[in-house]
Amino acid sequence: METLKFDLDAKPLREVNQFLHGDASTLNGKSIVIENPNGAHNIAVGLKADVEVTIKGHAGYYAAGMNQLAKVVVEGSVGSGVAENMMSGHVHVKGFASNAAGATANGGLLVIDGDAGLRCAIALKGADVVVGGSVGSFSAFMAQAGNFVILGDADEGLGDSIYEARIFVRGKVKSLGADCEEKTMGPEERKILVDLLARSGHQDADPDSFRLYGSARNLYHFHVDNAGAY
């Protein structure tokens, strides 16, 4: 595989992103290394090619946002909105992720080795998100579809106003949000969990140590008796 290196101390990020937005046929199969990211925002956003991008350090806001097809690895931590609105591909953060990681993601897999901040997987629309640590308050708020695996703890308001997404938690849940409840994990859900643990590098985690959460479906249609929960 051909490897190309870009040093953000020497080359503007705009030029690097313009290269990554080039003809997919010339990018497919390439390996890109971005050195000295220094917490810059919008690194490797909007990719539409089957390319591997390694960010050698910390990234700022919206790293790998709107990703399609690409595999992006961040060898550090990231600011808000990593993999926001991701459509497909694989984004792997080896450190901590700030607020709204994986927000509105439609497809693909987001793996965060460390903790994630507030509203992780907010409005999830079909992607898979695996967090090796704990997550902040109101994670999976209004999550519509997809799977959210948390190996650590979840802060208050988990799954508030959730639709049809699944949440798997190994640790403690401080509190559940409106219309979110614990579910019985059947064979189908267990299979999904086992697959995601393997794909995210956590194959040694015992699937039986997780609990499943999802929608109680009481807020799907407006009812005056539930007005206080909206």
Tens digit of pLDDT for each residue in 102-145? Answer: 999 999 999 999 999 999 999 999 999 999 999 999 999 999 99
- Is residue 198 included in any domain, yes or no? yes
Report the predicted TM-score, pTM, of the whole model to 2 decimal places.
Answer: 0.94
Q: What is the pLDDT of residues 20-71, one digit of tens each?
A: 998 888 899 889 999 999 999 999 999 999 999 999 999 999 999 999 999 9
Q: Is residue 230 part of a domain?
A: no
Backbone angles phi, psi at 229, to 5 degrees: -95, -10
Note whether residue 190 is domain-resident: yes
In a domain? residue 223: no
Domain containing 30: what range? 3-202+211-217
Is 98 among the domain residues?
A: yes
Q: For the domain that residue 136 is a member of, what is the CATH number?
A: 2.160.20.60
Domain assignment present for residue 228? The answer is no
- Measured between its terminal Cα atoms, the distance across the chain in Å is 52
Name the DSSP class of 181: E
Could you list the beta-strand ranges (E) of 66-196.
Answer: 71-74, 90-93, 109-112, 125-131, 145-150, 166-169, 180-183
| 96 within some domain | yes
In a domain, 84, yes or no: yes
What's the structural domain count of the chain? Answer: 1
Distance of CA 21 to the CA centre of its chain: 22
Q: Which DSSP helix (H) or strand (E) runs through 15?
A: helix 13-20
